[in-house]
A and B are shown apart, each in its own frame.
Chain A
Amino acid sequence: MDQESIQDNIDRYLSGEMNLDERREFELEVSQTPEIQRLLDFNRKLYKEIEVWGNQKLRKRLDDYYSAYLEESDFDNDQVGQADVDDPKVTTLNKTYRLSGPPWWRLGIAAGITGLLVVCMIFFIRQHQKVELTEETPTETQVDSLEEINPGDSLDDPSKDKQEKNGGQPEPQQSVPGTTKEKMIRSQPVYAFSNIKRLPKSSVRAVNYPQQLQYTFKNGMLILYGDPLIPPLRLKLFRQKGRLLLQFADDFFFIDPTETVRPLNPLGLLSVSDSQPLDESIRIRLANLQESKFTQSDLEVWIGTSPQQIYSFEEKNGKNALILGGLPEGENPLVYVVNGQTFFLVLGASVFELDNAVNQPTILRQINGASSANARIFEDSKEFERKVYKIQ
């Protein structure tokens, strides 16, 4: 059996893809061939380790799902009070809610609110249609060329974009004014770039997310770098014989006063029991990704003039380059390449996600923390206070 077939069989065996006969035959072969036995044991260990690693990643993602759940619950409470997704009565934003309590008056209120919203939307559309239609005609004409985007082009169709992200499920329309605006944007001509200049290399940054956690601890403020999306509830502080200990998920770290950025080295397995609250709290700030460690990316970024905020990934000097246009004067644009595959433009407090499949001038799409975890990693750092507990 050649090396490739051996690996293939080992993989099918460890992944549980062999039927009973195949398993028996393979096990017999393993017992007679020490080399295959050796390879099988080696692979088994690696598979086990991938499971452990995957589990750690999943735990991290669970924190994100929990945050998403909390955000949606807050939203639900703002919208319709008591919410539960079990028994659909009212549908909005791709979610279903159950209105608990006596149904007649709750449904009455819901119908009233819906009616009021519809009236407001109709009024809003009528007011705005005039204004937006006048904006449809571009006022600037000094650009090199004009390009009409095909309304059916999926790259510029936000609803299709959302559909893809939802695994093919059509995104329900959130509000009529938003939809009208999207139609307006699609029907507007998108301009090409002119007068392009290279953005300094120092403004094009490669970052990894998440990174190894690092910290500084001075003037009673603990700043954590590397993962701005850590849910605050997952962080606990302890004092053990005067020394400060931070717990995050299952890991513990010593925190010593320091003005320099130091890595957080996990201390291994600890058992914490009988903790007593102390009369001490410490402020923690989760630094955003802009403050974390970055290197220079080799992506070329060019900035041109254009009456609209647009971008495109195009081949330039034989290399894939990003071209941005219509950015406001005076802002220092920063481009971040996260994990080598996701692209963001940060303009002051605004964050834009860039799709590297876009190869013709396309309007920049701004994202924000309320709708995207990606935006939150660049937005303002989170600050909060945590109580310290004493342990033996």
Chain B
Amino acid sequence: MDDNYLIEELRNGNEDVIKYLYKHLPMVESWIQANNGSQQDALDLFQEAIIVFYRKVRDGNYSHDSRISTFLMAICRFQWYTTLKKKAKQQESFAQINLFSGQDTGNSSGEPKISQEELSLPNRESYLKNAIDELGEKCKAILEAAIFLNLKMEVIAQRFNFANAQSARQQKLQCLKRLRNKVSYEYVMSLD
């Protein structure tokens, strides 16, 4: 599949073409394996690189100067070097690092003490994620298409059978209103 065609399809919301990007995975795998990484490391890095690529295409910031394969490989190389540097630093101070980063249990011989309350405390992620999950399927799909995928209102109107871009925008604003009504302003603003 031609690079330009794939990018055009992604811009039009045909995400399915992402699977064709995986033909570049073996190239990344061999490079990562030759640089002390595993196949799983390669897959994880490659998925991250796809996300970076997809976001760039989505935001209209992808430059056509290089081939997609070159772009993905460059991201993976950069990420892997960063990971290796981090690993080296971690090993230096490994004795001090507890499994739970940023949390010293002071209980190196026993099991980590985590109460059920601690596990179920609402955090930023679960609080807002639950609020989004409680929206109707259609609202979730519209917000995902409009905000995360940054699709044009015309495309959204077509995809969700709205009369025109203006009614698609109205729906998006309605869905956002529903979301705002589900959460507490004070709590959201207190989050990082």
**Which A residues have a C-beta under 8 Å from some C-beta of B?**
4, 7-8, 11, 15, 38, 41-43, 45-47, 49-59, 61-63, 65-66, 68-70, 72, 84-86, 96, 167, 233, 236, 240-243, 265, 267-274, 339-341, 391-392
Contact = CB atoms under 8 A, between A and B. Distances in A.
A65 B19 contact: yes
Interface stretch (B29-37, B72-80, B172-180): B172-180
Interface of A is mostly: helix
B94 A49 contact: no
Of B90, B114, B147, B185, the most chain A CB neighbours within 10 A belong to: B147
7 contacts: A50-B132, A52-B128, A69-B25, A233-B43, A243-B111, A265-B119, A267-B114
Nearest to A165: B16
Given A11-B176, A50-B143, A54-B149, A271 B19 contact: no
Nearest to B22: A69
Given A7-B176, A50-B143, A242 B18 contact: no
B180 A273 contact: no
A238 B51 CA distance: 27
Given A7-B177, A45-B189, A267 B148 contact: no
B163 interface: no
Contacts of A56: 129
A167 to B, nearest CB: 6
B109 to A, nearest CB: 9
Contact of A69 (B1, B19, B51, B119): B19
Contacts of B132: 49-50, 53
Contacts of A58: 51, 54, 148
A339 B148 CA distance: 21
B189 A41 contact: yes
A269 B23 contact: no
Contacts of A42: 180, 185, 188-189
B15 A61 contact: yes
A176 B148 CA distance: 42
Nearest to A7: B173
B176 A43 contact: yes
Interface of B: 1, 12, 14-16, 18-23, 25, 40, 43, 47, 50-51, 54, 87, 90-91, 94, 97, 99-102, 110-112, 114, 119-120, 123, 125, 128-129, 132, 137, 143-144, 146-150, 169, 172-173, 176-177, 179-180, 183, 185, 188-189, 191
A273 B188 contact: no
A85 B20 contact: yes
A240 B99 contact: yes
Contacts of B137: 339-341
Contacts of B146: 15
A49 B180 CA distance: 12
Nearest to B87: A273
A54 B47 contact: no
A139 B43 CA distance: 56
Contact of A53 (B129, B149, B150): B129
A22 to B, nearest CB: 16
Closest 8 pairs (CB-CB, A-B) = A54-B148, A69-B22, A65-B19, A49-B128, A50-B147, A271-B101, A68-B19, A69-B19
A273 B98 CA distance: 10
Contacts of B51: 55, 58-59, 62
A50 B19 contact: no
B129 A46 contact: no
Contacts of A233: 40, 43
B148 A51 contact: yes
A65 B14 contact: no
B18 A50 contact: no
A65 B172 contact: no
A54 B147 contact: yes
A296 B143 CA distance: 28
Contacts of B128: 46, 49, 52-53
Contacts of A52: 125, 128
Contact of B144 (A45, A57, A68, A72): A57
A241 B111 contact: yes
B108 to A, nearest CB: 9
Given A45-B188, A46-B180, A69 B100 contact: no
A233 to B, nearest CB: 7
A267 B15 contact: no
B22 A65 contact: yes
A269 B101 contact: yes
Contacts of A46: 128, 176, 179-180, 183, 188
A11 to B, nearest CB: 6
